[in-house]
Structure 1
Amino acid sequence: MSPSSSWSSWLDGIMGGRSSRSSQEYDPILGSYRSRSSSGTYTSRSTTTSAPSPPPSRSNSFAGSFPSLVREITPVLCVVATEAQRIASGKVPAPLAGVRVLEVDLSAMVGGTVFRGMFEERMKSVIDHAEASDGKVILFIDEMHRLVGAGDYMGRHDATNMLKPALARGRIRCLGATTHDEYRKHVEADPALERRFQKVDVGEPSTKPTIAILQGLKQGYQDHYGLEIRDAAIDAAVHLADRYITGRRFPDKAIDLIDEACSASNIEETREKIVSPDHIAQDDLLSICVVGSSFLSSQGCSFLFLGLTGVGKTELAKALAEQLFDSDKMLLRFDMTEYASPGSVTRLIGAPPSFYGYHNGGQLTEKVRRRPYSVVLFDEVEKAHDCVLNVFLQILDDGVLTDGQGRSVDFKNTVIVMTSNLGAKHLTSGMAEKNTMESARNLAMEEVRTYFKPELLNRFNEIVVFEPLSYNQLKEVVKIQIKSVVARVASKGISHVLSDDVLDVVLSESYNPMYGARPIRRWMEKYMVTIISKMLIQGEANEGSTILVDAADDKKGLKYEVVKKEIMVDA
């Protein structure tokens, strides 16, 4: 192979060859993108006032500033590919007719440059190739901020310093793409580089253009998955993605949603056969009764639970997580006694720039970012510092919280639950019949209004007052706890039989109306679970055995008897 052909092959790998993707490999952009037409306008401009005039010896047909596409997470590559397709089909202004768009692979240019001057030689060859085309080549540089420092030798010979003179002379056309953060950090820091490019903001398309994009992609997905995608499914995908997928941008998140729905189509069909209308009605009824219609609002929903300790405030939050999000592990619990100092805000949302722990993120914001569908429990909220309570105002009002790194964390799909023991003494007096329960509730609410600011209380969807548990309610708690113990023993292959008197003994020995249901659990752990555990360790009970539990003769405790399984031996 001749040196010239070898060099041509290397240049092909850098620009428009095997290292660069063809415009046909990108999904088409079918929406009405202003940025697409803007990029075509700037690449075909004659001159602009922000760039110096070219020397008289050169043509002025394509001098001036060149477009720099700046975006967050939007399909810039697809915009460029679509523009290339328009150029190839001749649907462009005359100055762009016959032009080729070539992607420059900076990684390939830097790779293998062992000795000084190798990168400069490669970069100069790319520039010379573009200049020799007499305006018929547009260089596209994705992640253009990587130009800064590429091939740098002691801060003098990076890619930008080689590209800027060519851009200033107006001899090449160049198209760059980067993000807002990288543009601000790298490009704006070099004024000479910044004025060589015309900034074009590529915004996120709205729902209507996104639907048009999906309509254009529909046939490809239908052919790939062998199914029909209805227009209603596309509309639903776009609107559901807009409502529930908050950390990503259109059209990417809607396209992924359609893709995942198609790949899971067989599973979905199976589920439709299993789920009956009765199940759906029960789920809807649960959502309406427990959460209320405010769950569908743009701010999510929030509750303030008031009451004595042990009345079930935390347990109800766990039940909400299990019913709404299919697992009690979707409960994010924060003990607000740990956030009693003014500096606690940084622990929740993260430290600001230049402070220690800035890159770690906040305890609250990071958890919600990872689990946007969850119940967030702030336990004993009255013990938090006022600065922390001020942070809650933003969550309850807008459903959005900005963390220490400036990122918006979406709380619209969470259920916010705060608990407090304020006013518990009034509820206790109501239980002792010193006051009526209605007046006790009013006194408790009056104390709550005195302690919390009106703007905080006014943002809750509902304030729920938990009355002290009655004797009959505690009896139901005992039944639940006994069922839990029986299930734990059964997992060891041991049967557990309890007499009717056991329930009365447990309740009489553990009953304390001031502390609610918690003493019941402690008593059962000490006098039932611990004793059964010792039987297992000492070999008194093993798999196949039956443990009989009955009330002691004095009704002050429990007595246990183990019946082991008889083993039949053939004679």
Structure 2
Amino acid sequence: MFDSSSFPQNNEVRMPQIVSLPVTVITLKTESGCNVCVPLFCPQSVWINESDYIMSGRLAEDIQKHLLDKGNYSDLTYSYMPSEVALATFEAEVVPPKNNKMFNKYKHKLHLAYWQITDDCLIGMIPELGINISAETFEKLIEKAISGAQLEFIRKGRLNRVHNMVEVGWFANAKVLTENQDFRLHSPAELEKLNQSGTESTLKDMATHFACSETETVMLDDILKTVAEQLEGRYPRSVLLIGGNGSGKTAVISDYVRKRNRKKLTKVWETTASMMLQGLTGSTGWQKALVLACRELRDSQELLYVNHLIELFEVGQYCGNTVSIGEAMREHISRGEIILIAEATDDEVALLDKRVPGFINLFSHIRLVDMPEKKMAGLVKKAVKSMAERLKIKLETKAIEELLRLQKRFNPYSGFPGKTIRFVEAMMLKLTNPENECPVDHITMSDMYRSFSEESGVPEVLINPEVQLDQEAMQQFFKSRIFGQEQSIEIVTDMILSFKAAMVKPNRPIASFLFVGPTGVGKTEMAKTLAEYTFSNKSSLLRFDMSEYSDPLAAVRLTGDLGNSGSSLVTKIRQNPFAVVLFDEIEKAHYSFFDLLLQILDEGRLTGGDGQLANFCSCIIVMTSNIGAEENHRESIGFAKAGRTGEEVTNHFRHAVEKYFRPELFNRLDKIVPFHALGMDEQRPIIQREIELMCRSEGVVNRELDISIDDSAYEYLARTAYDPRYGARHMQRSLRQELVNPLAQELNRYPAKEMIKLTIHADESAGVVIDSVGGHQKKRDDNSLLALEEQVAMQRRLVCRIEQGTCYFNVLSEYDRYEQELRRSERDFWEDEARAQRYLNIKKRLTQFEIQKSEIIGYETALMKRLTGMASDVAGVPSKYAEWKRAFFDIKRRLHDAVYHNEHCTLALFSHDRILDRWTRFYTELFRALNIEFKQHLIILKAEKYEVLELPLPKENTQKNLTRVGMRFDLKSLNSKMLIAGEHGFVRYFPEPNQRNDLLIDVSDTLGDEYEPPQGVHRRTYFTNCQPSRTVREGKIRFAKSEDEYAFEQVQKYAEMVLQDFELRLNSALEGEANE
């Protein structure tokens, strides 16, 4: 308790008076290590897994805000704020009622926090129960604690269920922390001023208390000391930490704040530009709110940390106001009213000084300079060692050194050592995760190489010296995609071998190639293949068509100086540093581009218009050109006729390139790669590959086709595709004209689901001929044993694929986890009713699946024996198989639901008011046929806003007075979203031959009142460009992707179609080919 005489008594006090008062927090610890903090001041409140020291500070803030800042000093005088609090334990005997057989009579251990008020008065609190007691002596206090606990057990009915007793019985121990906290006591004049400015804190709206990280900085003591001197001196000054990304700026600030908290100095707030704008924007405008926030900081003498200082100057402006938040804070910083801690990179500092001259001079600059490699390696090892000890894992020292080398070489953007430390921490957490198939406690060099490969995209075989590169397989990879260019392939693969041996020059691109040769010989395809092999992805190719950069502004467009930074070369390289950069048809570029290219090839870097640096050291630079191609073969562009040797062609292109480019640029090219004109020998394999690609197209793969191509067709296409003027590109055009277009016309003659046998051949007079036979697969008698055996075998294969799928694996993994928990503690397991019920359900599903699997194997065996004459009686199999299919369909649905739990979804109809009733009746009947529970809600338009009314409407409200725009069905069924997923889309509806109405059927995961209709759906323009998924005309529903038709009135047949499509999607999901 404290003396109220310390309160300010008059209006003479101009600054708040600071008093120190004890604040006590009790921490209860569970058997599993979870902490529950209970404040003595307010035992009804608790915090989970928070430090008692932090909670003491937060409690002091709440007392300041809700009591002292409102002048409620008397409430504080009656509160529990003792300077010394002791802790004891006692046992309360639990005697259950006579009719309660769940518990036996036993003693329950509880804790008691108590303190002395006067010589004959003790106050106590039981933190587990949150009840307070008082007594004259300690013995009487214990007696009252036992009685109070027993009464609380009875009053709250804790003896009725085991869970109610677990709430108060799972704490292993407790401890008490009493910390003196500083409070501000205000005079009446100050309280009046606070009330006028508003009771809510503006500062809390725009910032949060700085959250310190767990790890402490290492080898940065000098920086920490300088920061403390600037912020804690007699005349504190704002601080700006300057350094690259990952250099340790935030870590230094976090460590400083931690040490500042230990000294019990004023707190540090943390914010960003977006948080400030969001928190300060209100009815009064952010300018006035910012003044109030700065005043709070001044009065409390607390500090404000801003993550990226430059962002403060990018928010706040609007029409009529050109002042940003940063500029508005300038005056407060210059007068020393507020103290800021900020961080920025060197590029940001330069840009900030250019944009707002003199602003950065308001800060004390503290630079984090790049460390020598040995010191950096030592720092990383020390930090990693600390993390490894915390995670109880071993890490090879050589792995850290090699990681530093790889990141210096391939990932130079992120500052060091932060990038390396974060990478190692993420790798440790991933590899030691108990949910992994094989969690490890020792990380090797191989683990490091594998993790770096996954992050960067560089194949492990190219960076791990222990993994041997298969040169023959690499050659085959390129030759299977590039035809007739053995010399070019050899040059490119030699570069890859040099890269593998770490023999490429540092601080430069991995390699720079100039692919030169006629058009249509594979130059661009070689670049794509190189990207796919080197970086495991064709999307790693960044292509720039230099014909688009032939104007004088080419250079500034590439660097983003014109404001197009999102599409600039610099931005794309920063987003994808591991890439093949293709400058296509480089001879068409403006000469100013070659100055940029010179810098890229020489230094491996380029600075954009926004000051951002792009590093090309992890890139392969490829340029393509037709320079010298015309002179080399004037008669044939693309296909060789004969004559010149490979060496002569190479020398010709080399001289042509040397003549065209400036000497300093030509000298920086690693290799000039000549591409020879293609001959007739290369035509056949190219034709075969293009036809293979055609056969993999969606229109072929998704249909039942049996395609047979005769050699005569290949020979004819190879011969007619020859054109010396345009090379291989003419071959693609010829193939499309001779084969692809006629094949498409032939396929359109048949329904999509009909089996078609295609025979393709050619002769000189008719060209390519396509013979087709539809429906050649005979309809077998469904009752025949052979047909039945094929169906059973197909279902048995489906069962095996499902068993290997991801869904079944997840269910099996969950079952195994429950089994382990059950073996570990059977009693605790069954006390969790929800967990026990789910375990039993999963066990039932798995048992049913195994039974179904055994039965289908038995049916197949019986039928095979009958067909081979080994058995005679299979009369009951057809009926049993039909029943099996129905049961297996239900098991599949429940297996899928066990993983994805998609019982609820929404289907909404939007259309003209006149046809809404007809479609509502249709879907009402459909949902009943599918056994889907549903609730209907009417969607209306009122004052240009959508409102939802539950049906049926009240009697006083009729639909005639409403502007109806849609109907919403809230659905509940097993796998409901997947079941009706095919209904989603636009419908073109013709109730009369010349009357058209459009309908939107929207199937969504968003449930109930959270569902929002598409904006503007009530307007006719919403349906202007819609592509209908089905059309309803003359009472028949016809789908766009098939020729199937269904009578609009025959809902039952339509429901059967829905179930068939649903089963196909369900099978795909269970097999792992799709995921719901």
Give the alignment's TM-score, normalised by structure 1.
0.76
The sequence identity of aligned pairs, in percent, is 23
Give the drift of 1:253: 1.9
Give the drift of 1:323: 1.1
Please say if 1:281 is aligned against 2:469.
Answer: yes
1:57 alignment partner in structure 2:
none
Letter in 1 for 2:343: T
Report the Cα distance in structure 2 between the residues aligned to 1:145 and 1:347, rounded to whole angstroms.
24
Which one of the candidate residues 237, 242, 248 is aligned to 2:403? 237
2:1013 alignment partner in structure 1:
none
Which one of the candidate residues 689, 693, 703 is aligned to 1:484? 693
Report the Cα distance in structure 2 between the residues aligned to 1:371 and 1:197, rounded to whole angstroms.
35
Give the drift of 1:103: 1.0
Which one of the candidate residues 522, 525, 548 is aligned to 2:759? 548
| Unaligned residue ranges in structure 2 (runs of 5+) | 1-66, 74-182, 186-198, 441-445, 451-459, 475-491, 784-1076
Which one of the candidate residues 530, 537, 542 is aligned to 2:748? 537
2:202, 2:280 within 8 Å by CA — same for their partners in 1?
Answer: no
1:176 alignment partner in structure 2:
341
Letter in 2 for 1:76: K
Give the drift of 1:231: 2.7
Deviations 1:259-289 (A, max 9, x none): 332344247989999x999985227984853
1:442 alignment partner in structure 2:
651
Report the Cα distance in structure 1 between the residues aligned to 2:617 and 2:386, rounded to whole angstroms.
34
1:497 alignment partner in structure 2:
708
**Change in CA separation of 1:100 and 1:202 when aligned onto 2, cut-off 3 Å:** farther
**Change in CA separation of 1:129 and 1:535 when aligned onto 2, cut-off 3 Å:** closer
Give the drift of 1:495: 2.1
Report the Cα distance in structure 2 between the residues aligned to 1:511 and 1:209, rounded to whole angstroms.
64
Deviations 1:177-229 (A, max 9, x none): 23256656778988897666432223355654554454454467547766433
Please say if 1:566 is aligned against 2:755.
Answer: no
Please say if 1:314 is aligned against 2:524.
Answer: yes
Give the drift of 1:81: 3.5
Give the drift of 1:147: 9.1
Letter in 2 for 1:70: I
Report the Cα distance in structure 1 between the residues aligned to 2:647 and 2:496, rounded to whole angstroms.
24
Please say if 1:385 is aligned against 2:590.
Answer: yes
Report the 3-state secondary structure (helix = DSSP H, G, I; strand = E; otherwise coil) of the residue aligned with 1:358. coil
1:20 alignment partner in structure 2:
209
Which one of the candidate residues 723, 727, 735 is aligned to 1:524? 735
2:513, 2:673 within 8 Å by CA — same for their partners in 1?
Answer: yes
Report the Cα distance in structure 2 between the residues aligned to 1:310 and 1:77, rounded to whole angstroms.
53
Report the Cα distance in structure 2 between the residues aligned to 1:393 and 1:290, rounded to whole angstroms.
21
Give the drift of 1:443: 3.2
Report the Cα distance in structure 1 between the residues aligned to 2:360 and 2:249, rounded to whole angstroms.
19
Deviations 1:96-124 (A, max 9, x none): xx573631457799688959988656645
2:384, 2:421 within 8 Å by CA — same for their partners in 1?
Answer: no
Alignment of 1:355-366 (within 5 A): 357-358=562-563, 360-366=565-571
Give the drift of 1:532: 0.9
Give the drift of 1:312: 0.9
Of 439-448 and 321-330, deviating more is 439-448
**Change in CA separation of 1:268 and 1:446 when aligned onto 2, cut-off 3 Å:** farther
Letter in 1 for 2:571: E
1:94 alignment partner in structure 2:
none
Report the 3-state secondary structure (helix = DSSP H, G, I; strand = E; otherwise coil) of the residue aligned with 1:342. coil
Give the drift of 1:418: 0.8
Give the drift of 1:379: 1.4
**Change in CA separation of 1:328 and 1:307 when aligned onto 2, cut-off 3 Å:** same
Report the 3-state secondary structure (helix = DSSP H, G, I; strand = E; otherwise coil) of the residue aligned with 1:281. coil
Alignment of 1:113-192 (within 5 A): 123-124=294-295, 126-130=297-301, 139=303, 141-142=305-306, 160-162=330-332, 164-166=334-336, 174=339, 176-179=341-344, 180=346
Report the 3-state secondary structure (helix = DSSP H, G, I; strand = E; otherwise coil) of the residue aligned with 1:459. coil
2:421 alignment partner in structure 1:
255
Report the 3-state secondary structure (helix = DSSP H, G, I; strand = E; otherwise coil) of the residue aligned with 2:427. helix
Letter in 2 for 1:400: R
Please say if 1:474 is aligned against 2:683.
Answer: yes
**Change in CA separation of 1:162 and 1:254 when aligned onto 2, cut-off 3 Å:** same
Report the 3-state secondary structure (helix = DSSP H, G, I; strand = E; otherwise coil) of the residue aligned with 2:514. strand
Which one of the candidate residues 221, 224, 246 is aligned to 1:36? 224
Of 304-313 and 325-334, deviating more is 325-334
1:468, 1:513 within 8 Å by CA — same for their partners in 2?
Answer: no
Please say if 1:78 is aligned against 2:251.
Answer: yes
How many residues in Structure 1 have an aligned counterpart in Structure 2?
Answer: 525
Report the Cα distance in structure 2 between the residues aligned to 1:502 and 1:468, rounded to whole angstroms.
24
2:557, 2:564 within 8 Å by CA — same for their partners in 1?
Answer: no
2:241 alignment partner in structure 1:
69
| Unaligned residue ranges in structure 1 (runs of 5+) | 46-61, 90-97, 131-137, 352-356
Q: Which structure is higher in RCO with an 8 Å CA cutoff and minimum separation 6?
A: 1
Please say if 1:403 is aligned against 2:608.
Answer: yes
Give the alignment's TM-score, normalised by structure 2.
0.43
Give the drift of 1:141: 3.9
2:627, 2:657 within 8 Å by CA — same for their partners in 1?
Answer: yes
Give the drift of 1:551: 2.1
CA RMSD of aligned residues (A): 4.5
Report the Cα distance in structure 2 between the residues aligned to 1:178 and 1:32, rounded to whole angstroms.
16
Please say if 1:297 is aligned against 2:505.
Answer: yes
Letter in 2 for 1:38: T
Give the drift of 1:433: 4.8
Report the 3-state secondary structure (helix = DSSP H, G, I; strand = E; otherwise coil) of the residue aligned with 2:696. helix
**Change in CA separation of 1:209 and 1:556 when aligned onto 2, cut-off 3 Å:** farther
Please say if 1:367 is aligned against 2:538.
Answer: no
Report the Cα distance in structure 1 between the residues aligned to 2:600 and 2:314, rounded to whole angstroms.
41
**Change in CA separation of 1:162 and 1:147 when aligned onto 2, cut-off 3 Å:** farther
Which one of the candidate residues 521, 529, 543 is aligned to 1:333? 543
Report the Cα distance in structure 1 between the residues aligned to 2:377 and 2:671, rounded to whole angstroms.
37
1:13, 1:20 within 8 Å by CA — same for their partners in 2?
Answer: no
Alignment of 1:51-66 (within 5 A): 62-63=234-235
1:200 alignment partner in structure 2:
366
1:349, 1:361 within 8 Å by CA — same for their partners in 2?
Answer: no
Report the Cα distance in structure 1 between the residues aligned to 2:358 and 2:678, rounded to whole angstroms.
74
**Change in CA separation of 1:182 and 1:324 when aligned onto 2, cut-off 3 Å:** closer
Give the drift of 1:566: 2.1
Q: Which has the higher strand share?
A: 2
2:552 alignment partner in structure 1:
342
Report the 3-state secondary structure (helix = DSSP H, G, I; strand = E; otherwise coil) of the residue aligned with 2:610. coil
Letter in 2 for 1:69: L
1:51 alignment partner in structure 2:
none
Report the Cα distance in structure 1 between the residues aligned to 2:563 and 2:414, rounded to whole angstroms.
23
Deviations 1:405-434 (A, max 9, x none): 221112221211111111113432694456
Report the Cα distance in structure 1 between the residues aligned to 2:426 and 2:342, rounded to whole angstroms.
29
Report the Cα distance in structure 2 between the residues aligned to 1:345 and 1:196, rounded to whole angstroms.
37
Letter in 1 for 2:607: T
